[in-house]
Amino acid sequence: MSTPDRRRAVVTGLSVAAPGGLGTERYWKSLLTGENGIAELSRFDASRYPSRLAGQIDDFEASEHLPSRLLPQTDVSTRYALAAADWALADAGVGPESGLDDYDLGVVTSTAQGGFDFTHREFHKLWSQGPAYVSVYESFAWFYAVNTGQISIRNAMRGPSAALVGEQAGGLDAIGHARRTVRRGTRLVLSGGVDSALDPWGFASQLSGGLVSTVADPERAYLPFDVDASGYVPGEGGAVLIVEDADSARARGAERIYGEIAGYAATFDPAPGSGRPPALGRAAELALAEAGLTPADISVVFADGAGVPELDRAEADTLARLFGPRGVPVTAPKALTGRLCAGGGPADLAAALLALRDQVIPATGRTARVPDAYALDLVTGRPREAALSAALVLARGRHGFNSAVVVTAPRL
Amino acid sequence: MTRRVVITGVGVRAPGGSGTKEFWDLLTAGRTATRPISFFDASPFRSRIAGEIDFDAVAEGFSPREVRRMDRATQFAVACTRDALADSGLDTGALDPSRIGVALGSAVASATSLENEYLVMSDSGREWLVDPAHLSPYMFDYLSPGVMPAEVAWAAGAEGPVTMVSDGCTSGLDSVGYAVQLIREGSADVVVAGAADTPVSPIVVACFDAIKATTPRNDDPAHASRPFDGTRNGFVLAEGAAMFVLEEYEAAQRRGAHIYAEVGGYATRCNAYHMTGLKKDGREMAESIRAALDEARLDRTAVDYVNAHGSGTKQNDRHETAAFKRSLGEHAYAVPVSSIKSMVGHSLGAIGSIEIAASVLAIEHNVVPPTANLHTPDPECDLDYVPLTAREQRVDTVLTVGSGFGGFQSAMVLHRPEVAA
C-alpha cells in the first residue's frame, strides 16, 4: 500500500447541474457558446424585490431522474445533488459491479443553504397551520448533511463521509477534504457541492448580504472584473466529482481520468479592522506548493470573480502579485450561471478539468471592459484555445474564506 | 513521524451550569438539567421538555453590538472559544495566525435566528411571499452560516483553514476529527475546534415531534431523558456548546501546557440505510470504533470508559449496544458505558463536543460519569451503563461515539499521551 504522501487523487467522473446546462456536456457547451443562464426569476412573483434575476435551472424534471418515493422527502437542491451523483458515478463507471468495498466509498459534499425551499414551506405550515402539519421529512430534508446522507444511502457508500459549510468556498473545501480522505486510504470519494435558495424567503435572504446586483438586464447584471461590475446574481446548482486514488482507479480499469487534484489549501482573512490584506494569495501559494508547482506552471486561473468592484480589485491584485501583470489567462465562466454558493467551486473545477481536456478556456460571460489597473489577462468575448496543463481554481466565501485547488492534466 | 494531537484547552456551555466546572459537577453528581421549555409557549407541541441554558450574553462579556451581530449559537461558540483559549494558556498573539485553524460543528446552525426573522418577514407565517421590506441585514448569515466559524476565527485570531463541519448529530465529533487531520497533515499547528447548537425553537421541536423522536414524558421533565432504560421513549432536545484548543503534541509539551488528553484515533462511517433509521446490528458504528482504535494503535481492552451516544430512543440504544458488542467483544461487558444525555439532553451537533469534554474530564479526574434515570433494565441493553452514580476509577483511555441522521457513525479514542505505543 502506498503511503499517504504518495497517494494521488484523480478525478474519474464528473457531472454538472447548472443554469443553462444540465449535464456535463450541456454545461460545457453553454460556457463555450456563451449561453446565458441568468434570467428573470420565474419561481414566484418577485415584483416587490429590488433584484429579480437569478441563475435558474429550468429544464430539470425531478420525476425523470429520481424514484417517486424520494420526491416528497427532498428539497430541490437535494434532487440536483442526487441526480448529479448518479451521473457522475455513471461517468466514472462505478456501480455495484465495480468490486469496491462499501467502506471504500465516501461522500463529502458542501451546501451553505441546506434544503431551504423545503424548509420555508415547513416554516409556513408550522406558523400558519400548526405543528401537526409539519412534514415527517423536515428533520432531515433541511439540514446541511442531507445531500451527503441521501447520496450515501442511494449508492450504498459507507466510507468516511462529511458535509462542510463555508459559503462560496465550501465546495472547494469539500473537494479538498475528499482528496485528504483518499490520501488517508479511502479508495473513492464522491464530492462536490450544490445549493439552491430561490424561494421567496431564500432569495430575500441572499439579497440581505448587500452584494446582489440591482441591474435589471440579465446581460449586464453580473459582470466580474468589468468596469460596470455592480454585484452578483445568485444561482442554483453545482457539480459532483468522483475523486479517486490513482492506483485504485487504474486497478479497476477506470475509463478516463480528467485530471489530478494536485493541490488544495484553505486560508482565512485577517479580522475586519486589522488593516492587513486578505489571504486569498496565500491559499493559492499553499495549493501550488502542495502540487509541487510554481505560478509559471499554471496555464489558466478560474477566478472567484465576485462581480463587486472592491472584491474584483482585491482578487486582481492577488493574481498580479502571484503571476505578474497579465501573467496568466484568467476566466470566470460563472458569469453565465450566477454564483452557485457551495456549488460554484465544484462547477468551476469541472469547467477547469474540461478546459484541460479540450485545451480551450471559456470566456467570462458578458464582461467586456476590464480596468487597466487590474492588470488581468481576462478571457472575454469568446473562448480562447491554448495549451493547458494545469489550472488554479479559486473561491472566496463571505467573511473571509479562501480556498484554492490546483488541477493538472492526466499523466499519460 | 506522525504528528500527534492533544487537547490543551476546554470550554463548555451546557444545561445546568455555565462553565466547565459546573458542567463536571453536574455530571459527577448525577443531576439532571432537563426542564419544561421556557423559551416559548410549547403547549401545542408533543414534546415540551428541553435542556435549556440560562445564558446571559452581557454577563458573558459580549458587547451590545456583538449581541446583535451574533446568533445565539455563535455566542455559545465564541464564549466557549474564549474559555478554551484562556484554559490552554496559549498566547495566540505570539503565534503565526496562518498556522491557527478553526473547525466548528453545528447541525442546525442559526435555526433559532432563522425562525425569529421568518416571523418578522412573513408576518407570523401569514405571508408566503415574505416582505423584503422587513429584511434583517443579518439574514444572509442565518441562511448561509459561514459567519459562525468566522466569529470563532476572529475570537481566536485564526487565519489558517477555517470551516464548519455539519454532519448532523455527529458534527461535534467530526469537527474535532477534522481538526486532528489538519494538524497531523501539517495544515495547522493549533486548531480551535468544537461545536455549538441552539435548537430549542418551535420549528426544531416540530421536526422531532413529527417523527416522534423526542420524548412526550412532559409530566416528569427532570427524569425524561432515560438512555438504556427499559421505559425510554425518545430523546430530550437541548442546546449547548463545547470548544477545544487542539495542538501538536511536541509544541504543547515544549511550552509546558497542561494536556487533557491525546486524540489517538478518529473514524467515521455511514450506514447507507435510512436518513433517520438504524439497523439493529450496529455494523457501521462498530466499524468506525474498530478503525478509531486501529488509528490509535490500541487494543480494544485498553478502553477504560465508553462515552456513549445514548440518546434514549428505542432504536439508538439497542443499535449502539450491538455496536459495542460487535467492536469490543467480551470487553463490552466489562467496560463502563454511560450517556451524559441523561443529564444534559441531546444538543444535536453540539453534543459530540460536549461529550468529548466529558471524556477528557473523566481522564483528568479519574471519574466515570453516570447514566442518570436508569432504573428499569432492558434485556436488549445488557451492558454496565453506570446507573445513577459516578464511579471513581482509573481512566486512561476513553472511547466516545456518535450517531446521527443521514447515517453518520463516528468514533473517537482519547487517552493520556503516555498510553500511546
Q: Do B107 and A143 touch (CB under 8 A)?
A: yes
- Closest residue to B272, CB basis, from A73, A127, A152: A152
B142 to chain A: nearest residue by CA?
A205
pLDDT of the residue at A278: 96
A206 shares a domain with A88:
yes
Range B52-77 average pLDDT: 96
Q: Do B132 and A49 touch (CB under 8 A)?
A: yes
Look at residue A385 and tell me if it is in a domain: yes
Look at residue A177 and tell me if it is in a domain: yes
Which A-chain residues 151-190 have CB contacts (< 8 A) with chain B? 152-153, 155-167, 170, 173, 177, 180, 184
Query: Which of A251, A273, A305 is the last residue before a domain boundary?
Result: A251
Query: Which of A226, A251, A276 is the last residue before a domain boundary?
Result: A251
Look at residue A259 and tell me if it is in a domain: no
- Closest residue to A145, CB basis, from B138, B161, B167: B167
Look at residue A133 and tell me if it is in a domain: yes
Look at residue A3 and tell me if it is in a domain: no
Query: The domain containing residue B298 runs over which residues?
Result: 5-110+145-413
The mean predicted confidence, pLDDT, of chain B is 97
- Closest residue to A146, CB basis, from B130, B164, B406: B406
Look at residue A256 and tell me if it is in a domain: no
Which B-chain residues 305-334 have CB contacts (< 8 A) with chain A? none
A220 shares a domain with A159:
yes
A179 shares a domain with A146:
yes
Q: Is B59 on the interface with A (CB under 8 A)?
A: no
Sort out which chain A residues have CB atoms less than 8 A from B134's CB and list them. none
Of A284, A380, A296, the closest CA to residue A335 belongs to A380
Which B-chain residues 168-187 have CB contacts (< 8 A) with chain A? 168, 171, 174, 178, 181, 185, 187
A278 shares a domain with A237:
no
Alpha helices of B260-312 — where are they, by DSSP H?
283-296
Q: Is A271 on the interface with B (CB under 8 A)?
A: yes
Look at residue B285 and tell me if it is in a domain: yes
| Residues of B labelled as active-site residues | 169, 309, 346
Q: Encode B48-69: b = buried (16+ Cβ within 10 Å), e = exposed.
A: bbbbbbebebeebebeeebeeb
Q: Is A148 on the interface with B (CB under 8 A)?
A: yes
Q: How many structural domains does chain B have?
A: 1
Among A48, A144, A198, which would you mutate to test the B interface (most chain B Cβ atoms within 10 Å of its Cβ)? A144
The span from the CA of A162 to the CA of B168, in Å, is 10
Nearest C-alpha of chain A: how many angstroms from B227?
21
Range B199-223 average pLDDT: 98
Of B303, B275, B255, B314, the closest CA to residue B411 belongs to B303
- Closest residue to B210, CB basis, from A139, A159, A164: A139
Question: What's the pLDDT tens digit per position in A257-270?
Answer: 999 999 999 999 99
This complex has an ipTM of 0.97
Sort out which chain A residues have CB atoms less than 8 A from B159's CB and list them. 267-270, 279
Sort out which chain B residues have CB atoms less than 8 A from A205's CB and list them. 135, 139-140, 142-144
Sort out which chain B residues have CB atoms less than 8 A from A75's CB and list them. none
A278 to chain B: nearest residue by CA?
B159
The span from the CA of B174 to the CA of A161, in Å, is 10
- Closest residue to A139, CB basis, from B102, B125, B405: B405
**Helices H / strands E in chain A, number of each:** 12, 16
Question: What's the pLDDT tens digit per position in A2-16?
Answer: 455 679 999 999 999
Sort out which chain B residues have CB atoms less than 8 A from A143's CB and list them. 107-108, 166, 168, 405-406
Sort out which chain B residues have CB atoms less than 8 A from A49's CB and list them. 132
Among A128, A148, A208, A280, which would you mutate to test the B interface (most chain B Cβ atoms within 10 Å of its Cβ)? A208
Enumerate residues 6+ apart whose C-beta is below 8 A from A353: A11, A14, A258, A259, A391, A407
Nearest C-alpha of chain A: how many angstroms from B110?
11
> What CATH number did the domain enclosing A179 receive?
3.40.47.10
Q: Check: CB of residue A303 under 8 Å from CB of residue A292.
A: no
The mean predicted confidence, pLDDT, of chain A is 96
Query: Which of A251, A280, A297 is the last residue before a domain boundary?
Result: A251
Residue B269 Rama label (left phi>0; alpha psi -120 to 50; beta): beta
Of A6, A45, A46, A57, the closest CA to residue A239 belongs to A57
CA distances from A319 to A22, A29, A322 (A): 31, 27, 5
Q: Do A130 and B118 touch (CB under 8 A)?
A: no
E strands, A43-91, are 53-55
- Output the nine-digit C-alpha cell for B239: 442546546
Range A378-391 average pLDDT: 98
The span from the CA of B16 to the CA of B237, in Å, is 14
Of B150, B255, B227, B162, the closest CA to residue B381 belongs to B227
pLDDT of the residue at A2: 44
- Output the nine-digit C-alpha cell for A246: 490513482
A135 shares a domain with A95:
yes
Look at residue B115 and tell me if it is in a domain: no
Look at residue B138 and tell me if it is in a domain: no
Sort out which chain A residues have CB atoms less than 8 A from B130's CB and list them. 200-201, 204
β-sheet bridge partners, residue A404: A265, A394
Share of chain A above pLDDT 90, in %: 96
Instruction: Characterize the bridge pairing of strands B190-197 and B162-165.
Output: unpaired
A333 shares a domain with A241:
no
Sort out which chain A residues have CB atoms less than 8 A from B211's CB and list them. 136, 139
pLDDT of the residue at B421: 64
pLDDT above 80: residue B1: no
The span from the CA of B65 to the CA of B57, in Å, is 11
Instruction: Characterize the bridge pairing of strands B397-403 and B408-415.
Output: antiparallel
The span from the CA of B108 to the CA of A115, in Å, is 11
Look at residue B58 and tell me if it is in a domain: yes
Which B-chain residues 219-248 have CB contacts (< 8 A) with chain A? none
CA distances from A279 to B145, B146, B171, B187, B417 (A): 20, 17, 27, 15, 35
The span from the CA of B125 to the CA of B118, in Å, is 8
A233 shares a domain with A269:
no
> What CATH number did the domain enclosing B240 receive?
3.40.47.10
End-to-end CA distance of chain A: 22
pLDDT of the residue at A97: 87
Q: Do B146 and A205 touch (CB under 8 A)?
A: no
Q: Do B136 and A208 touch (CB under 8 A)?
A: yes
Nearest C-alpha of chain B: how many angstroms from A16?
22
A319 shares a domain with A194:
no
Q: Is B108 on the interface with A (CB under 8 A)?
A: yes
- Closest residue to B144, CB basis, from A167, A266, A269: A167
Look at residue A120 and tell me if it is in a domain: yes
Range A21-29 average pLDDT: 95
Nearest C-alpha of chain A: how many angstroms from B176?
13
pLDDT above 70: residue A412: no
Query: The domain containing residue A222 runs over which residues?
Result: 9-251
A324 shares a domain with A202:
no
pLDDT of the residue at A1: 39
Range A227-232 average pLDDT: 98
Of A400, A234, A264, A242, the closest CA to residue B163 belongs to A400
The span from the CA of B2 to the CA of B263, in Å, is 13
With bands split at pLDDT 50, 70 and 90, how would you rate the model's confidence at B2?
confident
Q: Is B406 on the interface with A (CB under 8 A)?
A: yes
A325 shares a domain with A176:
no
**Helices H / strands E in chain B, number of each:** 14, 15
Look at residue A99 and tell me if it is in a domain: yes
Q: Check: CB of residue B81 under 8 Å from CB of residue B159.
A: no
Look at residue B421 and tell me if it is in a domain: no
pLDDT of the residue at B266: 98
Q: Do A48 and B202 touch (CB under 8 A)?
A: no
A270 shares a domain with A144:
no
Q: Is B201 on the interface with A (CB under 8 A)?
A: no
| Single-letter amino acid, residue B181 | Q
Look at residue B137 and tell me if it is in a domain: no
Q: How many structural domains does chain A have?
A: 2
A229 shares a domain with A304:
no
Which A-chain residues 335-354 have CB contacts (< 8 A) with chain B? 341
Look at residue B124 and tell me if it is in a domain: no
